[in-house]
Amino acid sequence: MMNRILSVTAIASCLALSLPAAAQDHTFKANMPGNEQSIAYLSVERFDEVLGELTGGAVDIDLFANSALGDQESSLESMQTGLLDMATVETPITSVVPELGATALPYIFSGRDHVKAALDGDAGEMIEEMLLAKGLRPVAFLEGGFRQITNDVRPINVPADLDGIKMRTPGSALRIKIFNHYGANASPLPFSELYSALQTGVFDGQENPVIWVQSQRFYEVQDYLSLTNHLYTVTYLLMSEDKFQSLTEEQQQAVMEAGDAAEAYSVELGTKADAEIVSFLKEQGMQVNDADIAAFTDASSAIWTEWAAEQSGSAQDLIDAIVAARP
């Protein structure tokens, strides 16, 4: 989806007083929250393969699953300070760029075609500029999937069905606001602690793309899967801008081309996985229902207005760019 010309790099090169980086081998560490079966991990594997081919093995990626190098918040901080090379980050990106909460507003994306159109267009360019200003180079916008609700209390058909349900959310004030608005009792918890919290009843439910329900075996501790499609998760494959600038111009171009390949592969995996995984979860005994999307959409309009009013003007600009890209 990125398909970007390295305009920022070109400008930086013109301004730089030093000579271009000398060609040398690089091995970068990439930290990811999911396991080796997650779409993000598999997509970064593809990124590594393509990057190796394009650079003749001069740039190599070491992958670390299950937040082995720290959680997403610490990954962001470490990339900004140059202590970590790369990471995939989802919702916690808003701790660095709050305006990116626009991509996580409920029902802002109508489908994968809309996601692609937005991130390939003006919205994607705006997001790139926001991240570069924070020392983070967006290499790819990976498929994070549409999020669904699971719980062990009852099927969720309309927002009122969430009344009183203890919902785990990521560490995002917006996500907490969304589910409290729907009527749940929402609070954050690190992803690595979620299975145990569901198993022991600390939380009744959670919301994630179905691939996480499968890969993290949440079906063992959750009875109901409600297909709400309430928001799409953009998984940002990021590189420390300092590390990116340590590469030659040719290597930088290879990184971005490999990012495009990883991005396309992630969408392929996500599209294929949804139907297969829902069938698998039914086989595991989960009760699956299609939620009333119209009811959820109607209940979400106030969230957009309230959130945008709390942000800078660029947040509304990003919302407008995403909406304008709707097919």
Query: Burial code of 49-69, b = ≥16 C-beta within 10 A, e = fewer?
Result: ebbbebbeebbebebbbebeb
Q: For residues 108 and 87, what is the distance between their CA atoms, to the nearest angstrom? A: 25
* pLDDT of 116 over the 50 cut: yes
For the record, the structure tokens of 93 come out as 């990106």
Report all structural domains of the chain as residue ranges with CATH numbers, in order of start.
Answer: 25-144+234-273 (3.40.190.170), 148-231+276-324 (3.40.190.170)
Identify the band that residue 17 occupies on the pLDDT scale cut at 50, 70 and 90: very low
Q: For residues 44 and 237, what is the distance between their CA atoms, to the nearest angstrom? A: 8
Q: Is 199 exposed, middle or buried (0-12, 13-18, 19+ CB in 10 A)?
A: middle
User: How wide is the angle at C-alpha 132 spanned by C-alphas 131 and 138, nearest 5°?
Assistant: 65
Structure confidence at residue 215 (pLDDT) = 86
* pLDDT of 8 over the 70 cut: no
3-state secondary structure of 33: coil
User: pTM value?
Assistant: 0.84
Cross-sheet strand order for the sheet of 148-151: 185-188, 166-169, 205-208, 148-151, 224-227, 287-290
* pLDDT of 43 over the 50 cut: yes
Structure confidence at residue 75 (pLDDT) = 97
Mean pLDDT in residue range 1-30: 58
DSSP-assigned letters across all residues of 264-310: HHHHHHHHHHHHHHHHHHHHTT-EEEE--HHHHHHHHHHHHHHHHHH
pLDDT in tens, 81-96: 999 999 999 989 999 9
Structure confidence at residue 233 (pLDDT) = 92
Residue with tokens 């060609």: 23
Any idea what DSSP says for residue 18?
S
Structure confidence at residue 23 (pLDDT) = 64
Average pLDDT, the chain: 92
Helices (H) and strands (E) in the chain, counts: 12, 11
Query: Residue length, the chain?
Result: 327
